[in-house]
Amino acid sequence: MGWMFTSDVEVYAGAAEPWLLKDPVRNTAPLTVLRGIRNGLWGDDVLLAWLERDGETVAAASQTPPHPLLLADIPAETVRDLATRLIESERVVSGVSGPLAQAEAFAGAWWRPEAERRSERLYRLDALVPPPAWPGEAARTAVPADLERLVEWSNDFQVEAGGVAPVNLTPLVASRIGREELVLWEADGRPVAFAGVSAPIGGMSRIGPVYTPRESRRKGYGAAVTHAATAKALADGATDVLLFTDLSNPTSNSIYQAIGYRPVADYAFIRFT
């Protein structure tokens, strides 16, 4: 049996979730997106796909418009058939995101040329380095009163990251506040940075986004809030703590390694014309 498509999240989860959970580290993004769909963060236009061979799921992909197609860590030889099936269905695909080799294979098989690329690296926590002393500074979990500020910062993060144009992020941010997944770093009682930390899935928790407003940068707040979010993930029971970095930003890559993260694999976001 070939690629199967649905917009029913539980049908997809029944087929794909056990396969995704076999490697929750490399499939961190598809697993967190699946949870978001279950929580109602996207509408009926989601695309959920999985590939079966001999009755067993061997690959999965998803798309939550306006975001790009998201590939799990699927076998490279399955990518071209997925692209062909999506072209035949006339599905609008603005871009592709996933492990580097798979994303490049999909882009090579797609009918529109590449317009933009962002290279990322997945890191996994080895051992959290003890924090330095931060006098007058502390972390706290975000509360509903922080919603407006965090929606604004989340929009700014998306714009600076060069991703898709921001949509209404209020439901997403409110949902994460309700699940205690957003950590603020404060200096002299004033929020100066924030980081997301997903509730563990299969023992895996992912840090992100991490954002410091321009006026508060170059003071170590990004490293501090990442450290605090990582400590929260461990306290919440995570056995694997992950984060993605933009490879074009050597500063963030060095900061995360300094607090205990080590590279796992490279990923890519490719936007089509």
Mean pLDDT score of the chain: 94
Residue 165 pLDDT > 60: no
Which value, in Å, is the radius of gyration of the alpha carbons in the chain? 19
Two structure tokens written together for 125: 């926590």
pLDDT band with cut points at 50, 70 and 90 for residue 164: low
What is the rounded average pLDDT of the residues 18-29? 97
Q: Tell me the CA end-to-end span of the chain in Å, nearest whole number.
A: 32
pLDDT, tens digit (0-9, with 9 covering 90-100), for 188-227: 999 999 999 999 999 999 999 999 999 999 999 999 999 9
> What DSSP letter does each residue of 194-259 carry, written as one string?
EEEEPPPBTTEEEEEEEE--GGG-SSSHHHHHHHHHHHHHHHTT-SEEEEEEETT-HHHHHHHHHT
What is the rounded average pLDDT of the residues 175-194? 96
pLDDT, tens digit (0-9, with 9 covering 90-100), for 53-72: 999 999 999 999 888 999 99
What is the rounded average pLDDT of the residues 236-265? 94
> In angstroms, rounded to a whole number, what is the distance separating the alpha carbons of residues 1 and 81?
12
Identify the weakest region by mean pLDDT among 100-104, 219-223, 248-252: 248-252
pLDDT band with cut points at 50, 70 and 90 for residue 82: very high
Superfamily name and number for 125-265 = Gcn5-related N-acetyltransferase (GNAT) (3.40.630.30)
> In angstroms, rounded to a whole number, what is the distance separating the alpha carbons of residues 12 and 37?
11
Q: Is 115 helix (H, G, I), strand (E, B) or coil?
A: strand
What is the rounded average pLDDT of the residues 75-101? 96
Q: Which distant-in-sequence residues (6+ apart) come within 8 Å of 106 by Cβ?
A: 69, 71, 79, 82, 83, 96, 98, 270
Instruction: Give me the residue spans of the domains in the chain.
Output: 3-112, 125-265
pLDDT band with cut points at 50, 70 and 90 for residue 131: confident
Note the pLDDT of residue 58.
97
> In angstroms, rounded to a whole number, what is the distance separating the alpha carbons of residues 187 and 193?
9
- Burial class of residue 74 (count of CB atoms within 10 Å of its CB; 0-12, 13-18, 19+): buried
What is the rounded average pLDDT of the residues 154-162? 87
- Burial class of residue 145 (count of CB atoms within 10 Å of its CB; 0-12, 13-18, 19+): exposed
- Alpha-helical regions (H) of the chain: 9-20, 28-38, 79-88, 100-109, 147-161, 170-178, 221-235, 250-258
> In angstroms, rounded to a whole number, what is the distance separating the alpha carbons of residues 214 and 121?
23
Two structure tokens written together for 226: 């990442």
Residue 167 pLDDT > 70: yes
What is the rounded average pLDDT of the residues 104-131? 95
Note the pLDDT of residue 1.
65
Q: Is 58 helix (H, G, I), strand (E, B) or coil?
A: strand
- Burial class of residue 133 (count of CB atoms within 10 Å of its CB; 0-12, 13-18, 19+): exposed
Note the pLDDT of residue 47.
96
Shortest CA distance to 267 belongs to which of 218, 206, 223, 200? 206
